[in-house]
Amino acid sequence: MDADNILANLDRVVPFFQPIFSADQHQVIGYEILGRFEENSEYKSLGPFFQDATIPEEYRIEVDNYLLEVALERIKDFGEEFLIFINRDPNLLMFDHGEQFMETLKQHLELDELSRVVLELSDTIDIDNFEPLQHVLAYYKTYGIKVAFDHLGDHSQLDKIAQLSPNILKVNVEQMRISGGDAYQVVLFSLSMLARKIGASLLFENIETEYQLRFAWKNGGRYYQGYFLSRPDLLFIDKHKLREKFQQECQNFISYETKKLEAVYEKTQQFNEEINTFLKVQKRYESHEEMLKVLANKLEKVCFRLYVCDDQGYQTSPNILYKDGEWLIQKSYLNSNWSWRPYFLENIIKMRNEKTGILSDLYSDIETGETIRTFSYPINNKEYVFLDLSYSYLYENDALL
């Protein structure tokens, strides 16, 4: 964009407001301020201007500050109370150590209103600015200002962001389409774990379809934003506008997920009964290998790998692996230890005490890369059989996916 044209016509810089909806309240709880430039009766996004590193910092800061002042005046005139999401490049914010930003807020908001402010930062933090930014954000928080991080894509930055203790992490559902389902799930899992550890909420943005809204709800999104819900506009909307729609969508999501969870529960019960019956009626086998061979033949269309571990995580049997139409014996896995795997010991304790089997969540198999589940069952107080269910079986029983 022509930076000189924008600076020479600041009166044509206008704020647009995009609503942010809450999962728990089913209403608008805030607005994100977005910059637009009026040209030939059209409003063009100022995003390219703010993100263009070739434009002098002073120019971008001047436009940012002007936009904020106009937006805050319009918010004041509207008269309703909601969260105010304000975008800032963290490196531009530190140009004057955040003083002008804070001064602008104090000029347009009462001190007890500063808790409405959510400072939304990108994760493009220069290493030299990190420690000073940490101090500035700590100062802001004494006024109740909240911090959100956007454009979270660089895993190397997550540890730094955690140190800044943000209140909100923004998740871009558009990355689902760009990255692909499995890759995106890995990123999302990292973000959700981080959010849980630091006590932050997840805000899903760029929601454009019902499927994406359901995805956000299913993956722990507390806040939602996107064209499917409401586009950015010059005007504010009735905060209850989509309450009925949200309630209906939420009810549909709950019904759908409940059916899936019921199916998983029923399948778990079925596996428990089948394995329990097998162990009772079969003769005492001389080795785990012999037992697994018999069990494998019964479960040929269900699982592709079977093995036994003790309560310390050591494998006390070879792998029985189905490959190219036949069962193979992989003795090299004997005595391998799997206690390092997530939830392994936790599940062992649960099986030991409850005397019942467990069906795992979906995960990617280390060796095949396929999406699978594992059913584990206590053979006795010290040993447990593990059945890795094939993707083809999960696909045929789609409620398990």
CA 351/CA 349 separation, integer angstroms: 6
What pLDDT does residue 150 have?
A: 87
pLDDT digits (tens, 9 = 90+) for 32-71: 999 999 998 899 999 999 999 999 999 999 999 999 999 9
Q: Domains in the chain, start-ordered, CATH in brackets?
A: 3-230 (3.20.20.450), 256-400 (3.30.450.20)
pLDDT the model gives residue 175: 73
Look at residue 179 and tell me whether its pLDDT is greater than 70: no
| Residue 86 Cα to chain centre, angstroms | 22
pLDDT score of 125: 86
Q: Quote the CA–CA distance of 191 and 17 in Å, as a whole number.
A: 26
What is the residue whose two structure tokens read 């890759």? Answer: 183
Say whether 385 sits in a helix, a strand or coil.
strand
Q: Which residue is it, tokens 């792998």?
A: 319
C-alpha neighbours within 13 Å on the C-beta side of residue 19: 21
Cα–Cα nearest to 44, from 86, 2, 93: 2
What CA–CA distance (Å, rounded) separates 292 from 385? Answer: 9
* Cβ(175)–Cβ(203) below 8 Å: no
CA separation for the pair 119, 114 (Å, rounded): 11
Q: Please give the full DSSP string across 256-312, using - where no structure is assigned.
A: HHHHHHHHHHHHHHHHHHHHHHHHHHSPPPSSHHHHHHHHHHHTTTTEEEEEEEETT
70 vs 178: CA distance, rounded Å = 35
Strands 13-22 and 117-122: unpaired
Q: What would the pLDDT profile of 112-144 be if each residue is shown by its tens digit?
A: 999 999 999 988 888 899 999 999 999 999 999
Share of the chain above pLDDT 70, in %: 96
Q: What is the DSSP code string of 116-131?
A: GEEEEEES---HHHHH
Cross-strand partners of 233: 17
Cα torsion 257, 262, 268, 270: sign: negative
By the 10 Å C-beta count (0-12 exposed, 13-18 middle, 19+ buried), 84 is classed as: buried
- In this structure, how many other beta carbons lie within 10 angstroms of the beta carbon of residue 336? 12
pLDDT, tens digit, for every residue of 297-329?
Answer: 999 999 999 999 999 999 999 999 999 999 999
C-beta neighbour count of 95 within 10 angstroms: 16
Q: What is the rounded distance in angstroms from the CA atom of residue 372 to the CA atom of residue 360? A: 9
Q: Are 46 and 67 in contact (CB under 8 A)?
A: yes
- Mean pLDDT of the residues in the chain: 92
CA distance 134 to 109: 24
| Predicted confidence band of residue 155 (pLDDT cuts 50, 70, 90) | low
